[in-house]
Structure 1
C-alpha cells in the first residue's frame, strides 16, 4: 500500500473484515479510554431536514497522538419499510503525524457491528453470570447483529424474539434456530421471563414497561438515539441502576432518562456512571442479583473511529 493511498472499506469489506470478537475487544478498549479521558469527542450534532430525515456528525480523537476523524451520517426513514430507519454515511479517519486522511469506511455497517459489540460489552459487565434467557425486541438490522454478538458473552439457552410484525419475528427466529430462538406474540410475558432484554426499535412510545421486568434483569436500551422517542417507560428507568455509554451524551440525548427527569421522578445523579467506569473498576455495575441494570446506548464517535482504525491497521498488517 502506498503512503498517500486512501484505503476504502465498503459495506461488504466491513462485514468481511470486522469480526464480532475483534470489535467487542476494540469497543471495550474504547469505552475505557473515553471514561479515563484518553480520548476526546464532541456531542453529536444533528440537523433536521424534515420529518424522518436527519443529518448528523460525530467528531472525535482516539488520543492526543492517535488517529482522529468523524462519522457523518444521514438517518432517513426507509420508504420501502415504514417504521424503519437507515443510517447511511461514512467514517473518515486521519493519521496523527501529518493530518492526512487515510481511511474511509461505510458507516452503516460499522454502526451495526460496533453497536451490537458495545451492547455485548455492557451485557458482559452488567448481566448476571447465570443469565440464560435473552429477549430481542425488534426485527431490523440491529436484531441480526445483536443475535451475533450477545451469544459471545453469555451462554443463552433460550432466545425470544418479539416484533410488531409476527411474521418478521417468526422469520428471524427461524433464521437463528441454532440459538434456540423462538418468536413471541405476548411481549409482557416474554419480558417477565427474560434475564437480558435488548430494545432495538424505532418506537416513539414505550414498548416495555417496568412492571413487566423481574428483579435481576439487565436491559439494553439501544433503539432511541435522541430526545423524543422512548422505548421503555419511566418506571423502568426509576427502578434501575442506570449506566450510560457517555454521561454527557445521556444528559443531552437519552430520551427515556430525560422524560423521567423532566417529570421530576429522578435527578441527574440517577446516572450511576459510564460503562467505561465499570470496566475500569471505578464504580460498581451490578451490586446484587436483584438489581435491574440498564445500559443506555447512544453511540460514541470514538467507537466508530476505533472500529475504523482497527480495519485500517489490520489492512496494513
Structure 2
C-alpha cells in the first residue's frame, strides 16, 4: 500500500511494454523524477500512464542532474508521494565507474575483462596505478 509521504523507486523495467508499477502509482505521485529526460518515454512506467492521460509531462519534474544541482526540490510537502524512474541511461554506468575506479586504485584491485566479439575473443587486464 502506497502511503502519504511515500517514495517509489522503479529501476528494472526499461522497455515500452515493461512495467514495475501500475498507473495508480504514477497518478498518485505528485512529482516524478527520472535519471534522464532523454528516452524517459521509452519506459512503460512513464509512457503508458502518459498515453492514457493518467499523468502529464508537468509531473515529470526533473532528471537527476537537475535534482543534484539543486534546481528542483525533492518534495513539495511531507505528505507528497514521489516516484523515481530509472530509464536506463548509460551515464549511470559512467557514474558507477567513476566512483569505483578510485576505490580500486586505493585497494590495488586488478581489473580484468574478457568479452566475446564476432571473429574471436578480446581479453585484457588493467592494473590501475
Residue 254 (structure 1) aligned with residue 43 (structure 2): yes
| Equivalent residue, structure 2, for 1:236 | 25
What CA distance in whole angstroms lies between the structure 2 residues aligned with 1:263 and 1:214? 23
Please identify runs of 4+ aligned residues in structure 1 that moved more than 4 A: 309-313
**Does 2:97 correspond to 1:308?**
yes
Preserved contact between residue 26 and residue 54 of structure 2 (Cα < 8 Å): no
Q: How does 1:26-175 map to 2 (within 5 A)?
A: none
**Match for residue 77 of structure 2 among 288, 291, 298:** 288
Query: SS of 1:278's equivalent?
Result: helix
Higher relative contact order (CA 8 A, sep 6+): 2
Q: 1:280 offset after TM fit, Å?
A: 0.8
CA deviations on 1:79-101 (whole Å, 9 max, x unpaired) are xxxxxxxxxxxxxxxxxxxxxxx
Instruction: Say whether 1:277 aligns with 2:62.
Output: no
Unmatched 5+ stretches in structure 2: 106-126
Quote the offset at 1:263 in angstroms: 0.8
Gaps of 5+ in 1: 1-211
Summarize the Cα distance change of 1:312–1:266 in structure 2 as closer, same or farther, 3 Å threshold: closer
8 Å CA contact 2:35, 2:85 repeated in 1: yes
Cα deviation, 1:261-291, whole Å, max 9, x if unaligned, reads: 1112222222111122111110111122101
Answer 1 or 2: which has greater helix percent: 1
SS of structure 2 residue aligned to 1:316 = coil
TM-score normalised by L of structure 1: 0.31
Alignment: residue pair count: 105
Task: Provide the rounded CA distance (Å) in 1 between the counterparts of 2:99 and 2:73.
Answer: 29
Cα deviation for residue 232 of structure 1 reads 1.2
User: What SS is found at the alignment partner of 1:259?
Assistant: helix
Shift in Å, 1:300: 2.2
How far did residue 297 of structure 1 move?
1.1
SS at match of 2:38: helix
